[in-house]
Chain A
């Protein structure tokens, strides 16, 4: 087990930022920490890294208790902070070299690692730039390069893709998966469920400092009663038709608004077929019709009663 956290409690005055949070991360996985703003993701990461003192709990990394002076543990961790932490006085290259140099003394090896990191985030054209001259997205990429250049066993990324355009974001996500394939264990926090779904092999959803669900994305989706979500675009639907629809088996809810019919079905087989039959039978004219599997947002919504996104 790479990381083991037991009953972690962190208070900021009256605010309980982490409420008996427990988690474990296995070797080789990409572990996702998903939660809305202020749910305690960064606080959890900072406690795990011993950057913050906490009120209660136990933290082990690589099987050893984590403390502020556990330098042997720190040597094998790469960290990409939520707040970009680079030196404005150093160029892109110098920044990566500096942070890599905190872990790797050997100059030749370091040069190789730094060059690889630059390739990895695609900053080759900007090595002489100072951070102030970089766009927000490029700056994020520099932040990532600084964190992973030394090829650590465990990589922790705290919302690394904020303000990064979709194309670069995909590149970064692919890169993270590549690092994972090369053997690194990854912890990835985000409030974008798409990202988390895309790369994480195991996910923990947290809210208000509490873990509310953990598992693979399929396991998570299996936890909730909702089956699929079916959307029908139609110009006319009478109240009677709507109430007849609601009486069909396995229908959890049906709402008609703005010429769109949204149906949520419970778990079960042939839900879409039932509805298509109904539409044919009633002679309802429709434009588009599509069905979606539940998302992590639906999971979050069903467990907490609110949307993941604000």
Chain B
């Protein structure tokens, strides 16, 4: 296993450069995870927002008390002196967004069925004010109905009626397709973004390894030894696979660590399988690039062009939905696209029947196809190079 050990030593020497990519990746995913978890909380909790209002009444009556009580469901009351300037300031500084004034004689006119109006002053364009408007209208419209249809109804019984009517509440629930789905947003992001780092690290490592391994002088020197070419190649492939799997394991391990609560389910297993398939695909791409690139200086340039290019058009950095049709058409000829598509599908999986899994599996199969294709092309180039 001389060659195998040699390969590992060469890879070990290249750890520092690869580490840069891994660390950047881990930091970005850490930032992402905290940002996402906040966003997820905000998204899933629905609460009616209460806005601040000033309730200024020039008289007092049971009807008005009832209104105030009703409004307390949608607004916080702020006590303000009844002075023009103070009120204007309060609006200006947004300490209240709504000022309601009940003029003297309102109750009496209302009970008589006359048309009366309340006076409101609001901050423009505040949607929470709509709730207040709605509440007031609902209260007064209902009250008007009672006043019209029940002769001489007392204010007390009117308020009683209104109270029981309006307490019939619609509870609003924001329904996600399934709450499970939200759980996988983070893993989805993580694995999508992982394709970039995984590709970078694999290409860096493999090309560095191959520059050494396929150096003409060294290859000739090895060819002088009694080790068969087959055995040498086999050990090389073995070392490459080990490198691929270890790189993959490190990245996946961090996903599970970051996302501990949501990690132990079938979705994660599928995320892992999909990314492992992609890792092999990446190894195969690296093998191809390693056969094409002939200088150490070109490695980092090629790494950046290939990884950034693939990842940009395939929805790693920009969601697929935001990419144009023509871009998507091109993207569908890249393995990253199918990896990302696979991840997005896995994130939405709530059931794991055959029919649910199939679209995910097909993404993996396509990636495997890419892996084989790249590997085959690399072998052809490799053979040509050897006989030159």
Interface residues of A (CB under 8 A from B): 46, 49, 51, 53, 68-69, 71-72, 74-75, 77, 79, 81, 83-90, 94, 98-99, 101-103, 146
Question: How many A-B contacts if CB must be within 8 Å?
Answer: 57
Given the known A-B contacts A87-B10, A89-B212, A90-B9, are A81 and B221 also in contact in the complex, defined by CB atoms under 8 Å? yes
Q: Report the stretch among B167-175, B223-231, B253-261, B330-338 that lies at the interface.
A: B223-231
Do A102 and B212 touch across chains, with their CB atoms under 8 A apart?
no
Known: A69-B229, A81-B217. 5 other contacts (CB 8 A): A75-B226, A77-B224, A85-B221, A89-B10, A102-B225
**B218 on interface, CB distance cutoff 8 Å:** yes
Do B218 and A87 touch across chains, with their CB atoms under 8 A apart?
yes
Interface residues of B (CB under 8 A from A): 2, 6, 9-10, 13, 212, 217-218, 220-229, 387
A288 to B284, CA, bound (A): 73
A-B contact pairs, 16 of them (CB 8 A): A46-B220, A51-B223, A51-B224, A69-B228, A69-B229, A71-B226, A71-B228, A74-B224, A74-B226, A75-B226, A77-B224, A83-B217, A85-B217, A85-B220, A102-B225, A103-B225
Q: Which residues of B contact A53 (CB under 8 A)?
A: 387
A259 to B304, CA, bound (A): 69
A-B complex: 4 closest residue pairs judged by Cβ atoms: A102-B225, A85-B221, A75-B226, A71-B226
Q: Which residues of A contact B226 (CB under 8 A)?
A: 71-72, 74-75, 102-103
Interface SS, B side: helix
Determine which residue in B222, B223, B224, B387 has the highest number of CB atoms from chain A within 10 A of its CB, and name it: B224
**CB-contact partner of B13 in A51, A74, A79, A89, under 8 A:** A89
Q: Which residues of B contact A99 (CB under 8 A)?
A: 221, 225
Expressed in whole angstroms, the minimum distance between the Cβ of A86 and any Cβ of chain B is: 8
Do A98 and B6 touch across chains, with their CB atoms under 8 A apart?
yes
Expressed in whole angstroms, the minimum distance between the Cβ of B86 and any Cβ of chain A is: 79
Given the known A-B contacts A71-B228, A74-B226, A102-B226, are A87 and B217 also in contact in the complex, defined by CB atoms under 8 Å? no
Determine which residue in A75, A85, A146 has the highest number of CB atoms from chain B within 10 A of its CB, and name it: A85
Do A84 and B10 touch across chains, with their CB atoms under 8 A apart?
no
Expressed in whole angstroms, the minimum distance between the Cβ of B380 and any Cβ of chain A is: 19
Do A74 and B225 touch across chains, with their CB atoms under 8 A apart?
yes
- Of all chain B residues, the one with the shortest Cβ separation from A69 is B228
Do B220 and A81 touch across chains, with their CB atoms under 8 A apart?
yes
Expressed in whole angstroms, the minimum distance between the Cβ of B385 and any Cβ of chain A is: 15
Determine which residue in B212, B220, B228 has the highest number of CB atoms from chain A within 10 A of its CB, and name it: B220
Q: Which residues of B contact A81 (CB under 8 A)?
A: 217, 220-221
Q: Which residues of B contact A51 (CB under 8 A)?
A: 220, 223-224
Q: Which residues of B contact A86 (CB under 8 A)?
A: 218
Determine which residue in A46, A53, A86, A101 has the highest number of CB atoms from chain B within 10 A of its CB, and name it: A101
A158 to B118, CA, bound (A): 107
Do B2 and A102 touch across chains, with their CB atoms under 8 A apart?
yes
A86 to B212, CA, bound (A): 10
Expressed in whole angstroms, the minimum distance between the Cβ of B306 and any Cβ of chain A is: 24
Do B223 and A68 touch across chains, with their CB atoms under 8 A apart?
yes
- Of all chain B residues, the one with the shortest Cβ separation from A78 is B224
Expressed in whole angstroms, the minimum distance between the Cβ of A64 and any Cβ of chain B is: 14
Q: Which residues of A contact B221 (CB under 8 A)?
A: 79, 81, 85, 99, 146
Given the known A-B contacts A83-B217, A87-B10, A89-B10, are A49 and B2 also in contact in the complex, defined by CB atoms under 8 Å? no
Do B220 and A102 touch across chains, with their CB atoms under 8 A apart?
no
A51 to B227, CA, bound (A): 14
Do B220 and A87 touch across chains, with their CB atoms under 8 A apart?
no
A75 to B226, CA, bound (A): 5
- Of all chain A residues, the one with the shortest Cβ separation from B232 is A102
A51 to B222, CA, bound (A): 10
A110 to B6, CA, bound (A): 16
A194 to B222, CA, bound (A): 31
Q: Which residues of B contact A79 (CB under 8 A)?
A: 221, 224
Q: Which residues of B contact A89 (CB under 8 A)?
A: 9-10, 13, 212
Q: Which residues of A contact B229 (CB under 8 A)?
A: 68-69
Expressed in whole angstroms, the minimum distance between the Cβ of A44 and any Cβ of chain B is: 14
A90 to B11, CA, bound (A): 11
A120 to B217, CA, bound (A): 24
A101 to B227, CA, bound (A): 10
A88 to B217, CA, bound (A): 13
Q: Which residues of B contact A68 (CB under 8 A)?
A: 223, 229
Q: Which residues of B contact A74 (CB under 8 A)?
A: 224-226
Q: Which residues of A contact B223 (CB under 8 A)?
A: 49, 51, 68
Expressed in whole angstroms, the minimum distance between the Cβ of B322 and any Cβ of chain A is: 44
Do B6 and A49 touch across chains, with their CB atoms under 8 A apart?
no
Expressed in whole angstroms, the minimum distance between the Cβ of A117 and any Cβ of chain B is: 15
A51 to B223, CA, bound (A): 7
Q: Which residues of A contact B224 (CB under 8 A)?
A: 49, 51, 74, 77, 79
Q: Which residues of B contact A88 (CB under 8 A)?
A: 212
Q: Which residues of A contact B220 (CB under 8 A)?
A: 46, 51, 81, 85
